[in-house]
Structure formats: C-alpha cells, structure tokens
Structure 1
Amino acid sequence: MADASLTLERIRADVAEVLYLTPGEIGDDTHLIDQGLDSVRLMTLVERWRADGADIEFVDLADLAAEPTVMRWSRLLGS
C-alpha cells in the first residue's frame, strides 16, 4: 500500500485541489468529510495516486474513508 511519493504535503495539496481549498485550509487532523470530501472525490484521489504508482487496494479505501484526515492517510499510505 505504501508509496514514498505520497508525502503529507502531497496528500494535503491533492485533497485541497479536489475540495477547491488551499492547502493551508486543511490541517493535519482536519476531518475531510466535514470539508466536503465525498466518495467521488475520494475515488478521484485514489485513481490519481494509483496512476502515480501507489498500490491502494479496496481494503485500503475503507481505511481511508474510516479516518479521513491527511495525517492518518499519510500514515496509511506509508510516507
């Protein structure tokens, strides 16, 4: 599941982009669903990261949805 290119900063920037926010508006522990993240945007992010070589499986998607913060995602994705 890990991909070294998925740094905390990269995850934050990508999330901000799909939510039409600036990276500075998303804290490490900001609950992303409260910011407007939905399943379509989550899949957009996952497909973007897969295209860049991240090995994200279906089970990983459940983990991402269960704890939607950039800090937790950074840990789950191994950066």
Structure 2
Amino acid sequence: MTEQTLTLDRLRADVAAMLGTDPSEVGDDDNLMDIGLDSMRTMNLVMQWEEAGLPIEFPDLAETMTLAGLWGIVSERL
C-alpha cells in the first residue's frame, strides 16, 4: 500500500476483508467492534497496515473504532 493507493475506501475494503463481508456493509461511522472487529482482528489489521507503511498503531484504532475516525488520524500523518 502506498500513499497513492491509500484511501478511505481502501481502509474499508481491508476491514471488510478481515470481517469476511462486503465493503458496502462497513459504514464510515459504524463502530467497528459492533460489526465484528475484535481485538485479534484489529491487531492483524494494524500489523498488515504497518507492514505496508501506514502510520498507525493499535491504540490509534482502539481510540476511534470508526473508519471516519481512523481516516482522520491516518490522513493527518501522511
């Protein structure tokens, strides 16, 4: 994942893939825990994103737990 390919929709697709669902079922303001993103899946996503160069850590995602909030953090750091 590069900065050019990093979008809110890419984050949504990654979360949906981790949950085994369609990206259209993951809303910007959905609480990711409420739709099935448990701590193990969250850690897997964070590790996947860190390896791809995304400036994110587990506490960042735990703090916001919505795609909109996560995108706000990520876009500030890019």
- 1:50 is aligned to 50
TM-score of the superposed pair, with normalisation by structure 2: 0.83
Matches for 1:11-26 after TM superposition, within 5 Å: 11-26=11-26
Does the CA-based 8 Å contact 1:6-1:74 persist in structure 2?
no
TM-score of the superposed pair, with normalisation by structure 1: 0.82
- Identity over the aligned pairs, expressed in percent? 43
Q: Which has the higher contact order (CA 8 A, sep 6+)?
A: 1
- Equivalent pairs counted in the alignment come to 74
Unaligned runs of 5+ in 1: none
Instruction: Please identify runs of 4+ aligned residues in structure 1 that moved more than 4 A.
Output: none
